[in-house]
Amino acid sequence: MRYYQLSRRGQSILAVETDSGAYDLTSVKPDLDSFGALVRTAEITDRTPDEVAEPHLSGADTLSTEEVRETCGLPIDVDEVWAAGVTYQISEEARRGESSMPEMYVNVYDAERPELFFKSTRDRTVGPDDAIGIRADSDWNVPEPELGVVLFRGEPVGYTVGNDVSSRSIEGENPLYLPQAKVYDRCCSLGPCIATDIQDPQTLDMSMQISRDGETVYDGSTNTAGMVRTCEDLVSYYTRHNTVPDLAVLLTGTSLVPEEGFSLRADDHVTIEIENIGILSNPVVSV
Ligand code: DO4
Ligand code: MG
């Protein structure tokens, strides 16, 4: 099932999409008004989120899929977003090319311990159709389309699409600047939904298009099969010796890297699609 958070008649609601249509779960269970409320109920009653939602669908108001797509916001009130880096060979090569210290990227690509870094908070994260930010003090900015693992108390409960928007000039100047290259206003987008029925996260097609003044200036596709680590392994490192908050998303690294010389500009539009999850689309602003 796919879960969307949206606002309807001034109220927050949790919508569920199945093969037979879309439903307003909150219309029949007013306390289930967010994905967080759903997973907490599931935990208390020792069920999966789908087992909590499923019995209510027949009595719930139906929604058109267009209404869901057009009005959905950030699908989870996330406490924190972390991200993995250099999990695909193309990312390792690109970073080696840009960096003042290229060896460290080869080392981390081959190492047992993955690179994990703090990426974003709720306030810095935007949902579908809301603007992602590029830093005005950076002249090389890129989107990074990534599969996101959605975690409740450190346990995977679904998957979403993420954009780890980054400054490559700041990261390239000195690796110690990574937090500034990665964490700033509007640095992350997530959405459009949380998919709870992904059988194998390591075999998903992913694509990204960037449009500028009505023209496509980047078009690429990949598959999560190219990841050198598993989502399970990344989650295990994130939760080691680390009491994680209730709601977190762990991005799993990028493998779609626009060629050197390409930088995002204000008013560009970035569209990312991951198979069986959905399309995350955002305009770009300078922050
Ligand atoms: O090593 C720096 C960040 C890498 C990253 O964000 C990625 O590979 O997706
Ligand atoms: Mg990344």
Mark whether 185 and 228 lie in a shared domain: yes
Could you tell me the distance, in angstroms and rounded to a whole number, from the CA of residue 184 to the centre of ligand 2?
14
Among 31, 48, 71, give the residue marking a domain's end. Answer: 71
CA of 24 to the centre of ligand 1 (A): 37
Q: What is the ipTM of this complex?
A: 0.99
Q: Clarify whether residues 44 and 175 are in a common domain.
A: no
Last residue of one domain, picked from the residues 26, 42, 71: 71
- At residue 181 the predicted structure's pLDDT band, cuts being 50, 70 and 90, is very high
Average confidence (pLDDT) over 36-40: 98
Nearest CA to ligand 1 atom 5: 85
Domain boundary among 21, 41, 71: 71
Strands 278-286 and 132-134: parallel
**Boundaries of domain holding 204:** 80-286
* Per-residue pLDDT, 203: 98
CA 74 to CA 128: how far, in whole Å? 7
User: Does residue 212 share a domain with residue 107?
Assistant: yes
Output 39 or 10, whichever has higher pLDDT. Answer: 39
Strands 247-251 and 166-167: unpaired
User: Which domain CATH number covers 154?
Assistant: 3.90.850.10
Whole-number Å distance between alpha carbons of 240 and 55: 36
The count of domains in the chain is 2
Whether residue 65 is found in the same domain as residue 187: no
* Sequence-ordered list of residues with C-beta below 8 angstroms from that of 276, at least 6 positions apart, any chain: 195, 197, 198, 204
From 95, 101, 107, give the residue whose CB has the most ligand 1 atoms within 8 Å, as the site to mutate: 95
pLDDT, residue 95, reads 83
Between 9 and 46, name the one with better pLDDT: 46
The predicted-structure confidence for 146-174, as pLDDT tens digits, reads as follows 999 999 999 999 999 999 999 999 999 99
- Which pLDDT score, from 0 to 100, does residue 101 have? 85
Same domain as 96, residue 61: no
Per-residue pLDDT reduced to its tens digit, 229-265: 999 999 999 999 999 999 999 999 999 999 989 999 9
- Residues in CB range of 65: below 8 A, 6 or more apart: 17, 21, 22
The percentage of residues in the chain with a pLDDT greater than 90, rounded to a whole number, is 92
33 shares a domain with 122: no
pLDDT at 106: 84
What is the identity of the amino acid at 184? Y
Say if residue 85 is in the same domain as residue 39. no
CA of 92, nearest ligand number: 1
What local confidence, expressed as pLDDT, does residue 102 receive? 85
- What lies within 8 Å, CB to CB, of 82 at 6+ separation is 116, 117, 118, 119, 238, 248, 249, 250, 251
Q: What is the pLDDT of residues 87-138, one digit of tens each?
A: 999 988 888 888 888 888 888 999 999 999 999 999 999 999 999 999 999 9
Q: Is the CB of residue 90 less than 8 Å from the CB of residue 211?
A: no
Residues 36 and 110 in one domain: no
- Tell me the pLDDT of the chain averaged across its residues: 96
- Tell me, yes or no, whether 36 and 146 share the same domain: no
Ligand 1 atom with minimal separation from the 108 CA: 1
